[in-house]
Amino acid sequence: GAVVSQHPSWVICKSGTSVKIECRSLDFQATTMFWYRQFPKQSLMLMATSNEGSKATYEQGVEKDKFLINHASLTLSTLTVTSAHPEDSSFYICSAARLAGGPGELFFGEGSRLTVL
Amino acid sequence: DAKTTQPPSMDCAEGRAANLPCNHSTISGNEYVYWYRQIHSQGPQYIIHGLKNNETNEMASLIITEDRKSSTLILPHATLRDTAVYYCISADGGSNYKLTFGKGTLLTVNP
Question: Would you call B103 an interface residue with chain A, using a CB distance cutoff of 8 Å?
Answer: yes
Give the HSE-up count for residue A48: Cα atoms under 13 Å, Cβ half-sphere: 25
Question: Would you call B87 an interface residue with chain A, using a CB distance cutoff of 8 Å?
Answer: yes
Rounded Cα–Cα distance for residues A67 and A37 (Å): 11
Q: Which of A41, A43, A58 to mutate against chain B (most B CBs within 10 Å)?
A: A43
Nearest chain B alpha carbon to A39: B41
- Is A93 close to B43, i.e. CB distance below 8 A? yes
Question: Would you call B106 an interface residue with chain A, using a CB distance cutoff of 8 Å?
Answer: no
C-alpha angle B103-B106-B111 in degrees, rounded to nearest 5? 175
Q: Residue B91 in contact with residue B100, Cβ under 8 Å?
A: yes
Q: Is B20 helix (H, G, I), strand (E, B) or coil?
A: strand
Q: What is the pLDDT along chain B (111 residues), one digit of tens a residue?
A: 558 999 999 999 999 999 999 999 999 888 899 999 999 889 999 999 999 999 999 999 999 999 999 999 999 999 999 999 999 999 876 656 788 899 999 999 999
Write the DSSP string, chain A: ---EEEE-SEEEE-TT--EEEEEEESSS-EEEEEEEEE-TTS--EEEEEEETTS--EEPTT--TTTEEEEEEETTEEEEEE-S--GGG-EEEEEEEEETT--TT-EEE---EEEEE-
pLDDT (tens digit, 9 = 90+) per residue, A3-34?
899 999 999 999 999 999 999 999 888 888 99
CA B40 to chain centre: 17
Chain A residues with beta carbon closer than 8 angstroms to that of B98: 34, 46, 49
CB burial of A1-40 (b: ≥16 within 10 Å; e: otherwise) equals eeebebeeeebebeeeeebebbbbbeebebbbbbbbbbee
pLDDT (tens digit, 9 = 90+) per residue, A73-100?
989 999 999 999 999 999 999 999 886 6
Q: Which of B35, B97, B99 to mutate against chain A (most A CBs within 10 Å)?
A: B97
Chain B residues with beta carbon closer than 8 angstroms to that of A105: 97
- Is B43 close to A111, i.e. CB distance below 8 A? yes
